[in-house]
């Protein structure tokens, strides 16, 4: 694998974990452990302004370097990985590239979501062969958020409002359209609405592809159905998809109680980073000693 230039390594936060308990877990399970964790505390960059970790270029290069280091030590075939995720999401394309980078280099991929893996984080989680979830675990809709005024809104919300407006106006002449609807229609740019629709379709295609690469290798129809529901089937971008709801959607999820000892150790590992301040995800990894060349 091509190595990351030394100058690029300054933009991500990557280290090999030295904790003995985690080494014992990796050895016992004969699995590589990878942590991709966004902390809940941001970094103050100006008075009243903080930046928080989101999946972006730093995470792309960081995960590429992680896979490169692992392969350097154990060879090109990575048979088994436990990926521990805590992320609010981030760039659509970066989330997809991170997911693909891991999925294409790992034969068996189990995703652990002790707390949150929303939006782009959910997209990454879909690359697993299964997702382990517990009582506080949370996935989220894939409806993509877009800049709006001083904040962000769901592209689906914008597109849905446009569609409702179109249905209201389609059978009316210009003279029959109420003034308030005329004013509302004038605020919508059809080109933007087309772009929003395109972004949503892109997300659906990414999700379908990732589901077919892991959970539903032999069931393209099921992958397509779940991806469509995750993109188009929610009223709010922040809606919680817990274990039961994930099961209802048809995702291959497993309750943490089946792997309770592993789950507790993973939560302890994750907790070391959640309250630290950072503007990028922490990336950590553990390689079983017996796997090293």
pLDDT, tens only, 196-221 = 788 899 999 999 999 999 999 989 99
Confidence tier at 106 by pLDDT (50, 70, 90):
very high
Q: What is the pTM of this model?
A: 0.90
What is the structure's pLDDT at 209? 97
What is the structure's pLDDT at 197? 82
Point out the domain boundary residue: 196, 222, 237.
237
Would you say residue 1 lies in a domain? no
Do 191 and 155 belong together in one domain?
yes
pLDDT, tens only, 163-189 = 655 555 566 565 655 665 555 555 656
Do 177 and 276 belong together in one domain?
no
Would you say residue 38 lies in a domain? yes
Do 69 and 186 belong together in one domain?
no
Do 11 and 108 belong together in one domain?
yes
| Domain extent at residue 55 | 6-140+240-291
One-character DSSP codes across the chain:
-PPPPGGGGGGSEEEE---HHHHHHHHHHT-EEEEEE--SB-EEEETTEEE---BSHHHHHHHHHHHHHHHHHH-S-EEEEEEEEEB--B-HHHHHHHHHHHHTTEEEEEEEESSEE-THHHHHHTTSSEEEE-TT-EE-----EEEETTEEEEHHHHHHHHHHHHHHHTT--GGGS-HHHHHHHHT--HHHHHHHHHHHHHHHHHHHHHHHHTTTTT-HHHHHHHHHHHHHS-S-TT--B-HHHHHHHT--EEEGGGGHHHHHHHHHHHHHHHTSB-SS-EEEEE--GGG--
**Least trusted range by pLDDT, from 22-36, 172-186, 198-212, 273-287:** 172-186
Do 33 and 150 belong together in one domain?
no
Give the CATH number, domain containing residue 248: 3.90.226
pLDDT, tens only, 134-155 = 999 999 999 988 776 777 778 8
């Amino acid at each position: 694998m091509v190595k990351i230039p030394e100058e690029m390594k300054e933009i991500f936060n990557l280290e090999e974990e030295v904790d003995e308990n985690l080494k014992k877990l990796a050895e016992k399970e004969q699995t590589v452990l990878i942590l991709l964790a966004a902390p809940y505390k941001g970094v103050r960059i100006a008075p009243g302004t903080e930046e928080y970790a989101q999946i972006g270029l730093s995470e792309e290069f960081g995960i590429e370097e992680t896979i490169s280091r692992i392969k350097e030590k154990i060879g090109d075939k990575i048979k088994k990985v436990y990926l521990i995720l805590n992320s609010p999401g981030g760039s659509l394309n970066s989330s997809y590239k991170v997911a693909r980078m891991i999925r294409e280099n790992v034969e068996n991929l189990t995703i652990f979501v002790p707390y949150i893996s929303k939006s782009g984080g959910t997209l990454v989680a879909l690359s697993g062969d299964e997702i382990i979830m517990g009582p506080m675990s949370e996935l989220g809709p894939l409806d993509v958020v877009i800049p709006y005024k001083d904040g962000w809104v769901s592209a689906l919300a914008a597109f849905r409002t446009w569609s409702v407006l179109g249905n209201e106006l389609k059978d009316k002449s210009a003279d029959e359209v109420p003034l308030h609807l005329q004013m509302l229609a004038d605020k919508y740019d059809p080109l933007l609405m087309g772009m929003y629709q395109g972004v949503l379709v892109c997300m659906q295609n990414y999700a379908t592809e990732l589901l077919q690469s892991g959970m539903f290798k032999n069931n393209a129809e099921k992958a397509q159905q779940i991806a469509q529901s995750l993109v188009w089937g929610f009223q709010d971008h922040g809606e919680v998809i817990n274990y039961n709801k994930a099961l209802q959607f048809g995702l291959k999820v497993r309750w943490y109680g089946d792997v309770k000892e592993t789950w507790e150790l993973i939560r302890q590992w994750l907790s070391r980073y959640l309250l630290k301040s950072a503007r990028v995800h922490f990336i950590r990894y553990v390689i079983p000693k017996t796997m090293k060349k």
